[in-house]
Amino acid sequence: MELITPISREDLERLKVGDVVYVSGEIITARDSAHVRILEYLKAKKDLPFDLEGTVIYHCGPLVKKTDEGWKVVSAGPTTSARMNAMTKELLKYVECMVVIGKGGMDIDFKGKGVYLAYTGGCGALASKAIKKVKAVHWLDLGMAEAVWVFEVEKLPCIVAIDFRGNNIYDEVRKRVEENFKRLRL
């Protein structure tokens, strides 16, 4: 299934844990410092330089180089999403529909407002091939990895890890591992 931004609630309601999806359209990157700044803006009722509603936030600190033609993404692998648990919970107070992409899972309930898509760690060069254009960059004062990059992507492959109803693939895997461990101990 292909998800094309901006994302709608109807798009998210169709997704189930384990589904393979291909994200296309505009996405933004955000790591720790960017999340902090986004929340500062939202709490101060300041306009963000990008729209969060219906967006895809990729937990990624890309490696980008400047060329004569503009910015070129060399690598765009995911970063560990669990670091953004508390900040994502806070962000959900301000949006009605969003997607988060990262690695390692999150320990949050998206409360019918979003989904979490897993992208495989160590595949940053592969992800960069899905990025067709750097549309903008915001807050470079935070550093290359922490800035908010706006990318145009085409068919970035992901797996639904937390769906709209709160089902969590990581919980399911943990449960199976615990059951197998108990069985082996007998």
d(CA 116, CA 111): 12
d(CA 146, CA 33): 6
Strand partners, 152: 26, 133
Q: Is 35 a catalytic residue?
A: yes
Among 31, 35, 37, 138, which one carries the catalytic annotation? 35
Reduced to 3 states, what is the DSSP secondary structure of residue 167? coil
Q: In 3D, which of 161, 92, 154 has the Cα closest to residue 128?
A: 154
Q: Which residues are catalytic?
A: 35
